[in-house]
Structure 1
Amino acid sequence: MKNLLPFFTRIPVRGDFEKIREELWALPLLAPLTSALGTLVLYLNLPLANVLAVLVLYLTIGLLHLDGLADWADGVMVKGDRERKIMAMKDLNTGIAGLFAVIMVLFLQVYSLPLLPFYALFLAELNSKFAMLIALATKKPLGQGLGAYFMEGLNKKQLVLGTALYLALLLPFAYFDLRSLSSLAGLVAGIYVVRLSIKEFGGLNGDCIGAVAEITRAGVLLGMAMVWSYFGG
């Protein structure tokens, strides 16, 4: 798992980039690390804990996926054929669609957290990382970038192992509180992003996978917030 850390987080450890493809199964195991500081902030109930939790989350994971979300949204929203959509996604300038998508994802995370138990951020990150694994498992690369590179290295054995890890980390929370299963709403949102990307672009690249990660996390927190608000106590 250590080789995933330098690429998927800002944790200062060294890793071998060539071995990342062999460790993609461990993506769900990143969730306890990437959510640790934010979860601690929420547990201690510090002032503005929801804002601080989101800030430390992005200090841990970086802004790469958020940037991918912006590019993806620009591509999805532009009118025209696939070629034009792909060009818009690859444009270095961020359009209004990308800006709106980033603001909404940040907004949903910040305003959902006060309604939820402190461990919600962990569940959001767990589903986010697993959604990325699902996206890579589609084997629908767009271009020859990092997305294609990782897809080529992901095999069925890794997918099965990653799924087992995901369930092992999720089910204990569901056992103690069935409402935790509402986090699956975010996973459904992430899978929808995968399908939409294939429809609009013909495949997935790094920007698409970044969008999957961000929308899944925000979807988890929104879905859980709605359930906790309705079935409080």
Structure 2
Amino acid sequence: MKDQNNDDYFEKQSPSTLRSIGGLLTFSTILPLNVYTTIDEMAKLTWFWPVLNGLIGLIATIIAFILTRFLHFEPLLVATIIYGFLLIINGYNHFDGLMDFGDGVMVHGPPEKKLSIMKDPMTGVGGIATGFIVGTITIAAFSSLINYAYAVSFNILLLIIVAEISAKIGLTTCCISSQASEDGIGKYFIKYMNLKNYVIGLIICFIISVALSLGPGIHIGLLGIIGGAFGGALTALLAKKHLKIANGDVLGTSNELGRLFSLLAMLVFISMNFSTLI
């Protein structure tokens, strides 16, 4: 997640919850909302980010439904289109952070050296390999999910929403588990995350995920959220080991790993209970 220090972007506006929500969506996606507010006002709603990301998941689910139900595309093709859509609508910010993080953790040396490598605009082998590994496994996971949708029920496509909610659960989990860097935008999201808001956001996401997975089984949605939290916690652990602190690139990584582990957790449950789901 590259730092954006353009003060015009964060032009002071009359603060309100709706403006903060619009500002957060404008900041984190390429949706043409053009709602601008201060970084502080946006960051105060970091705990609500997973719920907002469910809207992105909903759009992805609609696309997947059209491609599978009406056009009968092959699962791998649908999965690639869906993953590409998710990367594009997020402006590649999180994926860019993942690649920068991959470069940093693969370098030998002190945290200062690793952080300087992450800020380098050039992407190295570590970043490319990390992006390739996470990207291909994520596409394969989406493909498996869509295969199950064909075999069992198209209701399984709703788990795409759960995975996107869980991606941001990964981010908020990383925020609550990390020490912020002294510079960059990422520090604001970490600063405004606290345990109370984290738990509130987690409970809301649990409820939404259970509702979305009523057809395939409520345990699937719960496991999806837990998988997302695991991805965020794992990212925070790696960041503490290699960098001591967390910045925007670390938070972007937690988003991508949160989605990946959410999908894997749900797929494990589906595969183990496939005979009962048919």
Please say whether Structure 1 and Structure 2 have the same fold, judged by a TM-score greater than 0.5.
yes
Alignment equivalent of 1:181, drawn from 222, 229, 232 = 222
Alignment equivalent of 1:7, drawn from 27, 32, 41 = 27
Q: 1:163 to 1:227 in 2, by over 3 A?
A: closer
Alignment equivalent of 1:123, drawn from 162, 168, 186 = 162
State the 1:181 CA deviation. Answer: 3.2
Question: Which residue of 2 is the match for residue 135 of structure 1?
Answer: 174
Structure 1: how far apart are the matches of 2:185 and 2:46?
13
Q: 1:151 to 1:167 in 2, by over 3 A?
A: same
State the 1:104 CA deviation. Answer: 1.6
Rg larger for: 2
SS at match of 2:102: helix
Instruction: Count the aligned residue pairs.
Output: 233
Q: Report whether the alignment pairs 1:66 with 2:95.
A: yes
Question: Which residue of 1 is the match for residue 7 of structure 2?
Answer: none
Query: Is there any run of 5+ residues in structure 2 with no aligned partner, and where?
Result: 1-20, 146-155
Alignment equivalent of 2:45, drawn from 3, 23, 44 = 23
Alignment equivalent of 1:152, drawn from 191, 202, 216 = 191
Q: Deviations over 1:106-159 (max 9, x none)?
A: 211211123222122211111111121122223511231111122223344433
Structure 1: how far apart are the matches of 2:190 and 2:157?
34
Farther-moved stretch of structure 1 (180-189 vs 78-87): 180-189
Q: Report whether the alignment pairs 1:171 with 2:210.
A: yes
- Given that 1:38 and 1:57 are in contact with CA atoms closer than 8 Å, whether structure 2 keeps it comes out as yes
Structure 2: how far apart are the matches of 1:10 and 1:156?
30
State the 1:163 CA deviation. Answer: 2.3
Structure 1: how far apart are the matches of 2:232 and 2:47?
18
Farther-moved stretch of structure 1 (201-210 vs 140-149): 140-149
Query: Is there any run of 5+ residues in structure 1 with no aligned partner, and where?
Result: none
Structure 1: how far apart are the matches of 2:195 and 2:143?
38
- Given that 2:97 and 2:249 are in contact with CA atoms closer than 8 Å, whether structure 1 keeps it comes out as yes
**Percent identical residues:** 26
- TM-score, normalized by length of structure 2? 0.77
State the 1:174 CA deviation. Answer: 5.3
TM-align CA RMSD: 1.9
Structure 1: how far apart are the matches of 2:200 and 2:227?
22
Structure 1: how far apart are the matches of 2:269 and 2:196?
34
